Structure 1
Amino acid sequence: MPYDAFTIDTNAIIQGGMNFEAGLLAQLDQFKGGPLQFVVSEIVVRETLKHLNVSTKKARDAARSALDRAAQLGLISSDAAQTAIDALADSRTVARSKIASFLEATGAETVPANLCAIDALLKSYFDPTPPFEATGDKKNEFPDALALLSLEAWAKAAGKTVLAASADKGWQSFAEKSEHIFVEGDLADAMQIVQAHAEAAAKAVNTFLRGIAEGDLPDDERSMNALLADALAEWEFDVEASAPYRYELDETELRLESFALTERDGDHGVTVVRLTADEVVCRVDVEITATAHAHFSLFAWDSIDREEIGMGRTSASSEETFDAAVLITIAGSIDGPVADLEIVDLEVVEALGSVDMGEINLDFGDSDEIDDYNQLQLMLEGEER
């Protein structure tokens, strides 16, 4: 059915990594000035701001801690470290700015929570009806109830239907009884629903990807491989390990070994999230084999001097095969020859979550450490002369 407006819940924003500049959330700017209105509940804005405040403060504290540690180790002067610390922006200001920029970029209209009638809210709570559950702590559902009832009141007053992207069961249960709010559980799937001619675009992209998978388009295959390798190298994943010393994770990297396009009933899992006359953006499922690398710093406690001392660095790696999803931008007309299509951009939106590196130990054969020791000996010999 045709929809008049589109919205998302907090859950969809969190699943998008609260990254408004890339991935699926960045594609929502297509609604600004378009025929489909983009609306966001005031409750969703407030909840997102709360989550962003936490994450930006955590990042600011981590940056400050890293600069303090770098100064202690002599990697940067204390004055330079303090200058960098002073340059860190206020985390709450950054959070507010990010949300404001997102709302501006998407042309979003914020639906105020006070549109929710108190009698409707109380009836939903005491009956109870979705999003309130019959059992459990119903108080946790108040934000969802405020968001949904205010959105429904807005849609009813304007005579509009709203498609919401939400994996929340309360939102989905509410939509089942609403004449104005409809819910799709996956953000990419929801965005495809509102794309005109999405079915034809998906068919053309599937034909294009089939040509890549079968080796008929070698240039496009090489291009996709290179773009995927670059995007995967920037993907961050969690690391689990055990060690006889305390360790700190310094950096991680994923190096692409190979990939295969995932097939679903003969197709390649294409979900069209944006479509223009000369470009299509779609999510595609892939299976990836990559080598996960992790680098660690090891520390031991000196019980005599009662201080922690650095024991050096070590690294570990593990080959992993995992399901992933990428967002690819294809230039060219879907009505033209498939050979004229070209992948011009690729982002990884779902990939490896965590890797267990097992037990890690000091690497006494590290060439850099050997070179450091040799250089130290030369310095000491020079001082003796």
Structure 2
Amino acid sequence: MTDIELSKIIDAGDLGLITIDTNIFHRFGYDLTSPSLTALGQFAKSPIAFVLPDIIEGEVRNRMSGNSISATAQLRSALRDFRKARRPSAKVLADVEALLGVGDDINADVQGRWTAFVDATNAEMLTAGEYLNSDALVASYFGTKPPFEANEEKKAEFPDAIALLELEARGERDQKYVLAVSKDKGWSAFANDAKWLIIRDELPVALGFFHRADGYVVGRAVTMLEDAEKFALADDFDREVVKFVDNINPLIEADSFLFFDADFVSAEYEGRDAVQEHDVTIIDSDKDSVTLAFDAILKVNITAEFSFSIHDSIDDDYLTLGTTEVSRVVEVESHVVMKVARESGPEDGAISLEIETPRFVRVDFGEVEPDMQPDED
């Protein structure tokens, strides 16, 4: 379906539901307080309902639990290493673990965060028992119809099929179209043959269809973003970017003919590409403010220290061969959500501003080797 056709459906009041796939939650790091995700709360007082199939809820909660379990295990390991190296008192470590909630019930934590998200967005949960047509599911599976594909991974597509059939059934019941946001090709293929399902692959793009009348704000905001000397908004943005870069935790990759260990040294912000008006989308608005979403390309200088060694087969040990520091300027694509006053002036900064991109950045330093140059006196 074209953008023009979708706009006409919305204007005619024929769109009744909006939903998002698990991969959209993944896009925002399963952070249920993400302003992009909480923007779905705008439909609470509208004729359009934000719905989530139960299968999506289960997948998201499982991923959140898995992430929490993994992070907790890493933290426990780090605390054990710290205890061995620094020998702190048992009470200090116990206090730290209590402060960080290391021993807290992960399932209860996930339940609490999920409940808060559902309440904040007024999400309506769809259940397979109410909407799933099991005959249609079996027919799709054996007929290799979307989202099932002709490969050995067909069983893994059952969750998608259940969610899609629930959504199509709800659209049929209400006689309303369903706007689903997903990057899954199987969802798009299913929608091609479905009567009520419409797919878009980016959440900001989908939300932008509901704020076309506010487009005039975008041009002014983009102008204000590009001159920090004249506009407080640009200064707010640049300060937030610097804070984001200061907290980057890069995954360092490199190649060498020697064994090496890599340690992150620093990350320095060196500038960004100009924000283009056509890249900015309005994802929410009210009578006083407008919320903008856009991707910004940041240039970041990442420095890492490499320590090299070689294996001594006689003593079965590693001999240190020295270290070297290497810097690389990389481009980091950051997703920005910024709320601004609808009628803002030069001295008006952002009402709220958040960079939603995960701070884990992959940096490939290429071929590295020890610095064999003698130190200058």
- TM-score strictly above 0.5: yes
* Offset of residue 268 of structure 1: 4.2
Matches within 5 A, 1:301-380: 317-330=327-340, 332-333=341-342, 336=343, 339=346, 342-350=349-357, 353-357=361-365, 359=368
Q: Tell whether the 8 Å contact from 2:322 to 2:370 is kept in structure 1 after alignment.
A: no
Name the amino acid aligned to 1:291: N
Give the Cα separation in 1 of the matches to 2:147 and 2:36.
26
The yes-or-no answer on 1:186 pairing with 2:202 is yes
Q: Distance in 2 between matches of 1:9 and 1:183?
A: 10
Pick from 125, 134, 137: which aligns with 1:110?
A: 125
Write the deviation string for residues 296-348 of structure 1: whole angstroms up to 9, x where unpaired. 8999999999999x999996543223443322221x22xx4664754233222
1:140 matched to 2:146? The reply is no
Change (3 A) 1:68 1:192: same
Q: Per the alignment, do residues 303 and 348 of structure 1 end up closer, same or farther by CA in structure 2, a change over 3 Å counting?
A: farther
CA apart distance, 1:130? 1.4
**Separation in 2, partners of 1:229, 1:122:** 53
Whether 1:171 and 2:183 are equivalent positions in the alignment is no
- One-letter identity of the residue aligned with 1:146: I
Q: What are the within-5 Å matches in structure 2 for residues 54-203 of structure 1?
A: 54-74=66-86, 76-82=88-94, 84-85=96-97, 87-88=101-102, 89-114=104-129, 115-193=131-209, 195=210, 198-203=211-216
Classify 1:69/1:282 alpha carbon distance in 2 versus 1 (closer, same or farther; 3 Å). same
Aligned to 1:369: none
Kept in 2: contact 1:39–1:111 (CA 8 A)? yes
Rounded Cα–Cα distance in structure 1 between residues aligned with 2:28 and 2:344? 33
* 1:278 partnered with 2:288: yes
Q: Is the 8 A contact 1:162 1:180 kept in 2?
A: yes
Higher relative contact order (CA 8 A, sep 6+): 2
Aligned residue number for residue 260 of structure 1: 273
CA distance in 2, matches of 1:120, 1:315: 60
The answer to which of 169-178 and 29-38 deviates more is: 29-38
Tell me which amino acid in the other structure corresponds to 1:346: L
Distance 1:105 1:150 in 2: 23
Change in CA separation of 1:342 and 1:357 when aligned onto 2, cut-off 3 Å? same
2:374 aligns with none
Post-superposition offset of 1:129: 1.9
* Structure 2 counterpart of 1:53, from 53, 57, 65: 65
| Corresponding position: 1:225 with 2:238 | yes
Q: Flag structure 1 segments of 5+ consecutive residues without an equivalent.
A: 363-385
1:121–1:145 Cα contact (<8 Å) kept = yes
SS in 1 for 2:120: helix
C-alpha distance in 1, partners of 2:83/2:316?
A: 20
1:41 matched residue in structure 2: 53
Query: Are the aligned partners of 2:250 and 2:362 in contact in 1 as well (CA < 8 Å)?
Result: yes
CA contact (8 A) 1:245 1:300 kept: yes
Q: Judge conservation of contact 1:28–1:106 (CA < 8 Å) in 2.
A: yes
Deviations 1:236-278 (A, max 9, x none): 43222468666475x6754322123243xxx341111111111
Aligned to 2:301: 291
Query: Over aligned residue pairs, what C-alpha RMSD do you find?
Result: 3.6
Q: Normalising to structure 1: TM-score of the pair? A: 0.78
CA contact (8 A) 2:21 2:180 kept: yes
Identity %: 26
Aligned partners of 2:115 and 2:315: how far apart in 1? 51
Q: TM-score, normalised by structure 2?
A: 0.80
Matching residue's letter, 1:222:
D
Structure 1 counterpart of 2:161, one-letter code: A
**Separation (CA, whole Å) in 2 of partners of 1:189 and 1:126:** 34
For 2:33, which of 4, 18, 21 is the aligned residue?
21
Structure 2: gaps (5+ residues) = 1-8, 372-377
Quote the offset at 1:165 in angstroms: 0.7
Classify 1:360/1:227 alpha carbon distance in 2 versus 1 (closer, same or farther; 3 Å).
Answer: farther
SS of the counterpart of 2:252? strand
Deviation at 1:214, TM superposition (A): 6.4
Shift of 1:116: 0.7
Alignment deviations for residues 110-169 of structure 1 (CA, whole Å, 9 cap, x no partner): 101222111111121222321122455322211100011012212222333221110111
Question: 2:219 aligns to what?
Answer: 206
Write the distance in 2 (CA, Å) between the matches of 1:296 and 1:79: 36
Cα distance, 1:95–1:164 mapped onto 2, change above 3 Å: same
**Residue identity matched to 1:180:** W
How many residues are aligned here? Answer: 354
* Structure 1 letter corresponding to 2:121: T
Q: Work out the CA distance in 2 between the residues paired with 1:253 and 1:189.
A: 35
| Partners of 2:231 and 2:346 within 8 A in 1 | no
Question: 2:301 & 2:176 partners in 1: Cα distance?
Answer: 50
